[in-house]
Amino acid sequence: MVSLKAYVLVKVELNCGRRVIEAISKLQAVKSADMVSGPYDVIVATEANDLNDIADLLVSEINAISGVTSTTTCLAVTAQ
């Protein structure tokens, strides 16, 4: 059961957007990855079981991709 949704805003080096999206899209926890305009280059929608899984995704996988310069994570909050 997935209990946590997050959006990761990614900045990438010049001309690396498509390659970074291809690499991110292959990651298991990633639901979508799209190029966007504005202060960030890519937005990633992801789901995980807990904060540790989100942290592992960021540190071990997304930030390790060549061309990624920084990330900002936005945790989704669901009102019930």
Percent composition of the chain: helix, strand, coil (DSSP 3-state, to 5)? 25, 40, 35
pTM of the model: 0.89
pLDDT of residue 25: 95
Number of domains the chain contains: 1
Beta bridge partners of 8: 44, 73
pLDDT of residue 2: 58
User: What CATH number is associated with residue 51?
Assistant: 3.30.70.920
Q: What is the pLDDT of residues 1-57, one digit of tens each?
A: 557 899 999 999 999 999 999 999 999 999 999 999 999 999 999 998 889 999 999
Q: 77 pLDDT band (50/70/90 cuts)?
A: confident
Residue 12 falls inside a structural domain? yes
Residue 80 falls inside a structural domain? no
**Domain of 37?**
4-75
